[in-house]
Amino acid sequence: MDTQLFDYTRQDAAGTCSTAHAWAKTPAPLTPSERHALADRARALLKQHDAVLVAHYYVDGALQDLALETGGIVSDSLEMARFGRDHAAQTLVVAGVRFMGETAKILSPEKRVLMPDLEATCSLDLGCPADDFAAFCDAHPDRQVVVYANTSAAVKARADWMVTSSCALEIVADLHAQGRKILWAPDRHLGRYIQEQTGADMLMWNGACIVHDEFKGLELELLRKEHPGAQILVHPESPRSVVEQADVVGSTSALIKAVVEGKAREYIVATDNGILHRMRQLAPGKTLIEAPTAGNSATCKSCAHCPWMAMNGLANLVDCLQSGQPEVHVEEAIRVKAQACITRMLDFTAARKTAAAGMKPGIGAA
């Protein structure tokens, strides 16, 4: 087994992950009357265009509510992919980031896929250019290529498997049991966690989510002392110093399940704070505390929100439904290749019936 943790050392996404443009395009706050009017207009347009809204847990709460009210879904990226593929609607409106819209189009080429803003992207996607990644794969042809969902269609087209945080651990464990060696991309924290849990031989791409990478282990330790009865819920894209303190490590769906079913009254949550909206709805009696992304001297103690997720709003949702733009397109040759690795994941999770189970330290899927 390889002992070097991160094997692709040339990557430095700092220059490609400036968030200034994303924050500049974040919709302005709405008054209650504006919010109500836009939501009503969006409802009417969704019905008019035989469209369904597919929203991620990290987007604005108003979009999450609208999706549920109109027969859509609010979920993690795995369920978003499955729901869009299986839904009868001929227009899918994806409120999330670009790779989610691409995945919807890859699985449903006959459908129209719209997004409120196609410039809503992801630091993991930006930090894994397709050409560089292909060269990395070419240098290691003996390995199964496993890529996280947070990648472009072109990167998926080069992969054997796509995984999400709901199923990555089990898929890699299965490949390891077959004696397969893994080439993993792009999130180094999730890759390290899976390697430690499974013992798999994994070569790593050196990428990170700019939101989860900011959680601070030392500050979390101090916060735990202030809330000794709290359960610590951590997404596996977080640094090791944070994951090691977790009571539950898992996907967004797994973390929500932990709050809903847990016996504790307080929960410290280390993932994008957009998830708190749905957690509060499903577990109104629980106290939710944002995990720290900075120290006491910082102007913001916890700032865990993706600027690209924040670009989704009611106003640009209405605009895209009215205009039919922006629409997601994927080149057919790339789509066909990418579809194979996504379908492989969906078939695996359907067979194992563990797609929504998530992960817990030391025991894998649970």
How confident is the prediction for the chain on average, in pLDDT? 91
pTM: 0.90
Show the DSSP H helices in 92-139 as ranges: 98-107, 123-126, 130-138
299 pLDDT band, cuts 50/70/90, is low
Mean pLDDT of 56-84: 95
295 neighbors 219 (Cβ within 8 angstroms): yes
Q: What is the pLDDT of residue 13?
A: 45
Mean pLDDT of 261-268: 98
Mean pLDDT of 129-149: 97
| 176-183 LR contacts (CB < 8 Å, sep 24+) | 176/200, 176/201, 180/143, 180/144, 181/142, 181/143, 181/144, 182/143, 182/144, 182/146, 183/136, 183/137, 183/140, 183/143, 183/144, 183/145, 183/146
167 neighbors 78 (Cβ within 8 angstroms): yes
Same fold, 124-210+333-356 and 212-290: yes
Report whether pLDDT(23) > 90. no
Percent of the chain with pLDDT over 70: 91
Answer yes or no: CATH 3.30.300.30 is held by domain 31-121+309-329.
Answer: no
78 pLDDT band, cuts 50/70/90, is confident
Cα–Cα distance for residue pair 169/211, rounded to 1 Å: 21
Mean pLDDT of 36-54: 98
- Domain ranges, ordered by start, for the chain: 31-121+309-329, 124-210+333-356, 212-290
82-91, 146-155, 200-209, 350-359: which has the minimum mean pLDDT? 350-359
Report whether pLDDT(15) > 70. no
122-131, 161-170, 296-305: which has the minimum mean pLDDT? 296-305
Q: What is the pLDDT of residue 300?
A: 72
CATH T-level assignment (fold) for domain 124-210+333-356: Rossmann fold (3.40.50)
CATH code for residues 212-290: 3.40.50.10800
Q: What is the pLDDT of residue 361?
A: 38
Give the DSSP H/E element, type plus range, for residue 177.
Answer: helix 168-177
Comparing 293 with 366, the larger pLDDT belongs to: 293
Q: What is the pLDDT of residue 358?
A: 45
57-61, 84-88, 300-304, 359-363: which has the minimum mean pLDDT? 359-363
Report whether pLDDT(355) > 60. no
Mean pLDDT of 149-178: 97
253 neighbors 75 (Cβ within 8 angstroms): yes
Q: What is the pLDDT of residue 21?
A: 83
- Phi, psi (degrees; rounded to nearest 5) at 264: -70, 160
Mean pLDDT of 147-161: 98
Comparing 223 with 295, the larger pLDDT belongs to: 223
Report whether pLDDT(4) > 80. no
Q: Write out pLDDT tens, residues 304-319.
A: 999 999 999 999 999 9
Mean pLDDT of 106-135: 96
Centre a 10 Å sphere on the Cβ of residue 321 and count the other Cβ atoms it contains: 22
Q: What is the pLDDT of residue 294?
A: 87
Comparing 356 with 223, the larger pLDDT belongs to: 223
Q: What is the pLDDT of residue 297?
A: 64
Q: What is the pLDDT of residue 12?
A: 46
Q: What is the pLDDT of residue 232?
A: 98
